[in-house]
Structure 1
């Protein structure tokens, strides 16, 4: 036992005629396990857990013929498991978990009828589980084989091991359907997470109702599809853990889930679940952790959520939940995490939830439509580390009570309508590490001291009335601001005199302009449809914003025109202005297609249009332009292939960023293909059409070739691809045979894009000629020689261990290959692709991939 012992194990440790029990766990022993020289030592218990023992397990250990309990977990053992262990007929407990063992498990271990517990988790063991395992381990109670490399199906015989209580097979590569485990009356814990298991018809759930002692059911990170059946409510009254996250589950949450009164952890996040949150969720009075985040839930948060008084964390972010935040959440007085971000919530922030003093880790209400002020009760959050209420419609001042949040580390209240001065007390919050006040209406002098001394930790851009008393880049001196406002006031006085004089003239000109504009709009109905809710701008506005089309503001060019960076009076942020060259064949059609597409779509990973311009230029020629949000990190092409650029330093995308970008694009395509009223095909997906914002979130842009899928209701909008080929290298093979466009064409382009992101190789590289392709180049190396084709920048990152390559990179490549198959019918749907990349993303986060 723990005695701070050091040094090697004695070589004569097992050469004894009287020693029966050896307990040396939790020490600092090193070296290897000595060989057993004696013929049959009487040792019954050998416990070497939690040391630093290395080397191989000696085969002579099989001579310990009286051994009942062998535990060598959490050491540094390598090599294979010796077959001789299967000769110890008395052995009941064998656990080798947490070593570096490899190879296959000796068949003799799976035929030891005496075993009651077998633990081989957290190694690198391979192979398939024996088909008759349920019969050859009749007395097994605990079978722990998680975090290895086992593949193939779960043997159908396993539920015949009638004494089984704990079964952990998670984090392997198991496939096939989940068996019916209802024949195991003593089963208490079932962990099958992070495999590729399927639900079939979900009959296994009804079967599990017979396991009346079941307390933990963990199925997250698999390939479960379809609806969760109502029989979920028939599971054990003792069930405490239900983990279904990171699958492809669709349909609504069955109200019968409220029958599981003992649940304390319910994870259903990162699926495709639709419908409302059932009010019966409030029956789960023992619930401590509830996460339904990143689904497609809609409707309102039920008031019954406030009945979950033991909740420690509530995560509903990344859905489309609407309505007000229920005041009843204030009854959840043990909450430490509340995340309702990225929904469509509206109304005021209830003071009741701001009074929850237990909130310590996170309060995130960002990216909603919340209005009103920040409640003064915010001072009750004395334990909170993170507050994010950005991207809402909040107004008023920052309340002084916020200064009572003395352990606050992260505060983001950007992109609201907050005003007044930036309070001085923010300089006194010594724990504050990140402060974002940007794009509000704050004014006056920026405080000095505290976090404001660290420019990289503070963001205050987009507040035009801020000033500073000391020279600071980008912020005017307060003396200059006062002078400027004085001039503005003088100008305002002059305008009050002049305006009445010219009002009549403006009225007449407005009438003439209106008549002219109506004629223009009748000639261009697509522009009218997209512009009904947007303020139009003129050709002169475009000229002014681009500084007369200055070359310095040119940021890109394409087949149908050019893109400039600019600033508009109606928009605080910089914008990107796409100007169509109407002399180019197809440019006018591209403008119409983009207008038609953008008026029908709205998604967080699709570039957002701000306004449009359809006018005439200074020569009287037609002029058309679209104005989009500006993306400071440019497009994906310039990150993947900076050598193609004339200037600019080398950009390096981390593996985590590549996974996130792939997921963003997959989400966008899934929305276009499967969630729009009229499915839309992009037709020109490529890196230069993927834009990146300041946080490296990806947005799909350029809908100039987009077409709606043919249906009886949109027949006029659909078209074949006779003239619309997309971009070389990303065009699916079937389009070259004049086939009609389909969503599977976008899937092909996405597959090429994904392979390009992982390999750093462009599909138009000179090496891919004479029938060769990026797909074939990667396929030949997959999976055994994948390091030979992966972007060297990923291999140089020492955080990308062999395990990361196996669990993250290879699955990403596999998706890229399946999406870029030659035959459209062999390509997956983007819904499946999104769910799989989402699973990889969260596995990567668990492995701390950056």
Structure 2
């Protein structure tokens, strides 16, 4: 017996000794399986891109790789969580080898392909989140093997097929989100058997049929989201048994029926009630909603509700969204809007929609007591009358105010100018009178302004030029008069739609309309405008519709309408005094489908190609001397004799004109020769101003303007020269004079480059050059200077890094920095895309960004700029080798140092460094950057978690330590977005850098978030 026990102990001891290394080996093998699975996943997820998931390498244990979490006991992968990246690959089958995986979250990482069936091998899987990708195909049936699964999120993909009936086998499933896909068929009634379900979202698919009655059996359901499908039939009464419901969304379907009168009893925990856009849900306003004190969102729009709104809504003190538009509310009485008084108690309201109803009565003055959180107020298409209350100016949070198509009258109150955050203002189709208030110019965030179809009079206010974000401006069908103001629309270079038709405007079309590079529709018809169509309009290459009919324009129809405006679809030049032939270039307009040249004095042969081949697309009536064209026009045949006579007549006229011009030129040249021979050689005239300017200055003028180039007028100095502040006689603006240091190598070339670069460019975010002066000083030495508009707030460099002049030591807040970044981005967009020759600045940095008195940024110093297309056309050395580019250390892109070609990508790199410098207030040459660390890598390492540690401390100055959570919760996201733009722009390889138009969109998104 003793020997048996001894043997037993001996056996157990040795087994214990030998089992330890065996277990270790087994664990090692299992870990290796996970590692190999991850590496295989990486290859598929990233399409083999070497820079993606850089931490997934041999230098780290795989449990420390980005997005990977391992269990402590087995060191097996339990969580794979990656989101908001741009992998662009697929989810490989090796995911099925991560058998200890509990959470698989690959959200918004740009994956495509099918969801692999191997996912069914993950028996421990509890959470599957593949939202916001591009997966297609059907939902794999193998998911039924994942018996422990609790959460399935597959929304915002391209999944197709029907909703599987087998979800009822997943007895632990609590959340199912299949929204925003391409799913078809009906909602399976078997979903009613998944008793554990708490959240169900099938919105934004192509589902049809009725809502299954069985869904009313899901007693634990809190979220039911079935909106934006094609569901039909009556809302099942069983759904009103779901007493735990918090979000009830059946909107944008084809449902009908009525709502229960005791909604507060049926859904006591309701937060959001959304049944809008069903067309057929009817009845009076459910007054029991007033007792739902947790309600935040109410949308019953576009249905068949009617009657008055109860006066008890003030109890909804958490209500944020109130949408009752598109019904038949109101009885046309004076008390229809009495419920507004109760809404003033809803202190969280941010959106009020009452549009498309039958509300009457006057706008009460208490409208000014609405929540300061109110961002949108839409009352259009009702029967509201009276005047706009002065107190509307108290709604300082408004971004959208729409009161179109009512019976409002009187003047537009000046208090409207207090709505500094307004983006869209719609006052069309009312009876407003008086002038357009000058305070409109205070609304600098305005994107859309519609005052059309009123009785407004007077002139267009010049102050509107301050609304530099405008994209749509409609002042049509009023009684406006006077000239279209000069130096106004040139500032609105973002305009896409401009409607000024049906007024009494006079004078010519301002040449500055040529600055409107994004203009798509321009209608000036039915006014009293005169003159010729300016050649500047040839720059509006985005124009699709041009309406100039019913005016007093004369002269020829310019050929650039066909040669430059190649996107034109509609062209109306009717009822004017044009007297010329029809330019054959109009035949080239591929998209032109409506052309009206009627009621003019046109003559000669009508073209037959393009739009002229379709008789229903053109109108040529009341032009007596036209001939030819397609037979359907029934015009007389063109006479060869008359054609020859016409040509001979033109030839004679040309000979006479050329003779006269030749005589004048000879006389002028003789005068110049005599004049210069008689002058002293040292007292040379300065060169003329730019082609588009009229100001000419001499050395003496600039000497007097700067008090003899006094040091008291010195603004700054640099390697290329000195800048002085001055006042020219008979010139009302302060000027800045850049006097070039001609001893510097290449200074003369720099002078010519800058004059050439800026001479033909006009943009609100470029430093405006007034003139150039190439002359001799009082000692007979060469003198070269460039005269600019003076920028009162100096350079961005001084503001970021503490100007020596403390009176100008402003502290830029984050919003101001975003605005400056936008200004510089718009300038680069113009240089790279909207001028005849692509201009590469080559020296984008804070000292070359100048700020005017309103802190609008202007990009300057084009001394080393390159006109790329010009170089390519005129030289065999078209590559514009960057070895000649000096630039500034820290801002020069890496490819220039390696002899790479100058390109807009280089400016983007410099701009990215500028953004990071604006964010951190650290120069790229700061002493902290050495060895392999630079500003780009420093910021990339610190975001997003440590963003508040690296930003310029002055950005956080308004916040005390107790308020830091405000920063963290409200602007941290925007700071991270700003940093990411700078990082994306300053990537090492040019093709990886962000394009400037995407930069602008992202910055506008940040600006919108900051104003919300």
TM-score, structure 2 as length reference: 0.46
- 1:10–1:420 distance in 2 versus 1, CA, 3 Å: closer
Question: Once the 2 structures are TM-superposed, how far is the Cα of residue 56 of structure 1 from its aligned partner?
Answer: 3.0
Q: Which residue of 1 aligns with 2:455?
A: 320
Tell me which residue corresponds to 2:35.
Answer: none
State how far apart, in whole Å, the 2-side matches of 1:482 and 1:465 are: 18
| Alpha-carbon offset, residue 216 of structure 1 | 0.8
How far does residue 335 in structure 1 lie from its aligned partner after superposition? 0.7
Deviation digits for residues 462-500 of structure 1 (CA, Å, limit 9, x no counterpart):
11254448734559969759989x99xxxxxxxxxxxxx
Change (3 A) 1:366 1:469: closer
Is residue 14–residue 37 contact of structure 1 (8 Å, CA) maintained in 2?
no
Output the CA distance in 2 between the equivalents of 1:482 and 1:280.
66
1:94·1:118 contact (CA, 8 Å) conserved in 2?
Answer: yes
Task: Say if 2:568 and 2:589, in contact at 8 Å, map to a contact too.
Answer: no
Aligned-pair CA distance for 1:11? 6.3
Residues 100 and 432 from structure 1, CA distance in 2 versus in 1: closer, same or farther, beyond 3 angstroms?
closer
Distance 2:387 2:638 in 1: 57
8 A contact 2:318–2:348 mirrored in 1: yes
Counterparts in 2 of 1:139 and 1:37: CA distance versus 1, 3 Å: closer
Mapped pair 1:90 → 2:220? yes
Indicate which of 93, 117, 121 corresponds to 2:247. Answer: 117
- SS at structure 1 position matched to 2:538: helix
- The answer as to 2:186 corresponding to 1:56 is yes
| Aligned with residue 461 of structure 1, among 574, 598, 603 | 598
Alignment match, 1:448? 584
1:155 partnered with 2:292: no
What is the rounded CA distance, in whole Å, between the counterparts of 1:87 and 1:238 in structure 2? 39
Contact 2:160 2:184 survives alignment (8 Å): no
State how far apart, in whole Å, the 2-side matches of 1:482 and 1:351 are. Answer: 43
Note closer, same or farther for the CA distance 1:262–1:66 as it changes in structure 2 (3 Å cut): same
Q: Structure 1 residues 78 and 282, CA, compared in 2 at 3 Å: closer, same or farther?
A: same
Match of 1:103 in 2: 233
CA deviations over 1:242-300 (Å, ceiling 9, x no partner):
11111122222222211110111111112222222111111111011111111122222
Partner of 1:437: 573
Q: How does 1:179-328 map to 2 (within 5 A)?
A: 179-180=310-311, 181-198=313-330, 200-328=335-463
Confirm whether residue 143 of structure 1 aligns to residue 280 of structure 2. Answer: no
For residues 231 and 444 of structure 1, do their structure 2 counterparts lie closer, same or farther at Cα, with a shift above 3 Å needed? same
Mean Cα deviation higher: 78-87 or 29-38: 29-38
1:554 is matched with none
Aligned to 2:999: none
Alpha carbons of 1:306 and 1:20: their partners in 2 closer, same or farther (altered >3 Å)? same
* Aligned residue number for residue 770 of structure 1: none
Is the contact between residue 293 and residue 319 of structure 1 (CA under 8 Å) also seen in structure 2?
yes
Instruction: Please tell me whether residue 164 in structure 1 is matched to residue 299 in structure 2.
Output: no
Higher relative contact order (CA 8 A, sep 6+): 1
Which ranges of structure 2 fall in alignment gaps of 5 or more residues? 1-129, 608-627, 650-1012
* C-alpha distance in 1 between matches for 2:134 and 2:248: 28
What's 2:484 paired with? 349
2:534 paired with 1:388: no
CA displacement, residues 755-793 of structure 1 (integer Å, 9 cap, x when unaligned)? xxxxxxxxxxxxxxxxxxxxxxxxxxxxxxxxxxxxxxx
2:287 partner SS? coil
Q: Deviations over 1:792-817 (max 9, x none)?
A: xxxxxxxxxxxxxxxxxxxxxxxxxx
- The 3 A distance-change label for structure 1 pair 343 and 100 is same
2: CA distance, partners of 1:137 / 1:434: 55
Change (3 A) 1:243 1:481: farther
Q: Please say if residues 361 and 384 of structure 2, whose CA atoms lie closer than 8 Å, have aligned partners that are also in contact.
A: yes
| d(CA) in 2 for partners of 1:132, 1:14 | 40
Q: Give how far 1:107 is off.
A: 2.6
SS at match of 2:580: strand
Alignment gaps of 5+ in structure 1: 488-850
Contact conserved, 1:451 with 1:458, CA < 8 A, in 2? no
Q: Write the distance in 1 (CA, Å) between the matches of 2:272 and 2:606.
A: 70
8 A contact 1:466–1:476 mirrored in 2: no
- Residues 104 and 418 from structure 1, CA distance in 2 versus in 1: closer, same or farther, beyond 3 angstroms? same
- Corresponding residue for 2:500? 365
Q: How far apart are residue 136 of structure 1 and its match?
A: 2.2
Equivalent residues of 1:277, 1:297 under 8 A apart: yes
- Is the CA contact 1:291–1:315 (under 8 Å) kept in the aligned structure 2? yes
C-alpha change, 1:134 and 1:352, in structure 2 (3 Å) is farther
Aligned-CA RMSD value? 2.8
Determine whether 1:127 maps to 2:264.
Answer: no
Alignment counterpart, residue 509 of structure 2, candidates 370, 374, 377: 374
Deviations 1:530-553 (A, max 9, x none): xxxxxxxxxxxxxxxxxxxxxxxx
Deviates more, 1:378-387 or 1:426-435: 426-435
Partner residue in 2 for 1:514: none
Cα pair 1:313 1:335 within 8 Å, conserved = yes
Cα distance in structure 2, aligned partners of 1:159 and 1:337: 39
Please name the residue that 1:707 is paired with.
none
Structure 1 residue 28: deviation in Å? 1.4
Larger Rg over CA atoms: 2
Residues 466/167 of structure 1: CA separation in 2 closer, same or farther (3 Å cut)? same
Residue 78 of structure 2 corresponds to none
* C-alpha contact (below 8 Å) 2:567/2:589 kept by paired residues: no
